[in-house]
Amino acid sequence: MPTASHPAIRRVRRQGTYPTIHGNKLWKSTVLIMDYLKKNPPKHARTVIDVGCGWGASGIWCAKQLGSDVTSMDADPDVFPFLDVAAVLNGVATSPLVSRFERLTTRQLAEFDMLIGADICFWDELVDPVFNMVNRALKAGVKQIVIADPRRPTFSEMAARAVERHGGEVVEWETRSSIKASGAILVIDNG
Ligand SMILES: C[S@@+](CC[C@H](N)C(=O)[O-])C[C@H]1O[C@@H](n2cnc3c(N)ncnc32)[C@H](O)[C@@H]1O
């Protein structure tokens, strides 16, 4: 993954593109997702949606390592030029979708085997939209939910509500690779 100092990333910045809802760098929770999925290969990952994708690293990883057909979704259209740089460097492409957690319909979600999200529940106002999106995804038949977080209280609240309603678990996770990250991952298997 390119860092902020990568020439191609600097070129995007010089063109005046600035994500404004925190999609301005690679957040470490995305590394938790990659590490978790590497050690727990998903049974169903032909189609994947990476919600609140930012620079899109975990979706790009699924496209590259799992051969998944990935949709990268974010409310902020300005994240996609950065995601494109990362995708090209990895020799893959994902399909961009500008939308919001609260706008993704059950019908749209039914297209996917797995929903992933990294650090997407960081404000009080995001707890209900993320919880409701998880509910719709499971109703739509999405087979696995994997949402990672650095253990923000807002994530813990959303995850506890999801586990109470649907089962699943909140797994404590820590990487031992070159990028150190630790946090919690909401994992719900749905068939
Ligand atoms: C902390 S960043 C994490 C980005 C990426 N997942 C990562 O780990 O590098 C949160 C992302 O969620 C997006 N976001 C915030 N609220 C959203 C909403 N209601 N619907 C969709 N995306 C949203 C932001 O634009 C931002 O890219």
Q: Is the CB of 49 under 6 A from ligand 1?
A: no
3-class state of residue 184 by DSSP = strand
Query: How far is it, in rounded angstroms, from Cα 58 to Cα 55?
Result: 9
**Confidence at residue 3, expressed as pLDDT on a 0 to 100 scale:** 80
Read off the pTM: 0.95
Q: Which residues contact 5 (CB under 8 A, 6 or more apart)?
A: none
**Confidence at residue 14, expressed as pLDDT on a 0 to 100 scale:** 84
**Confidence at residue 7, expressed as pLDDT on a 0 to 100 scale:** 86
Cα(43) to ligand 1 centroid in Å equals 26
Give the pLDDT means over successive 10-residue stretches in the chain (191 positions): 83 81 80 96 97 96 98 96 94 97 98 98 97 98 98 98 97 88 96 80
Q: Is the CB of 52 under 6 A from ligand 1?
A: yes
Q: Which residues contact 120 (CB under 8 A, 6 or more apart)?
A: 51, 52, 101, 126, 130, 147, 149
Q: What domains can you pick out in the chain, each with its CATH number?
A: 22-189 (3.40.50.150)
Query: How far is it, in rounded angstroms, from Cα 79 to Cα 61?
Result: 17
**Confidence at residue 166, expressed as pLDDT on a 0 to 100 scale:** 97
Evaluate whether 78 touches 23 at the Cβ level (below 8 Å): yes
**Confidence at residue 10, expressed as pLDDT on a 0 to 100 scale:** 86
Cα(75) to ligand 1 centroid in Å equals 7
Pocket-testing residue among 30, 120, 122, ligand 1, by greatest number of atoms within 8 A of Cβ:
120
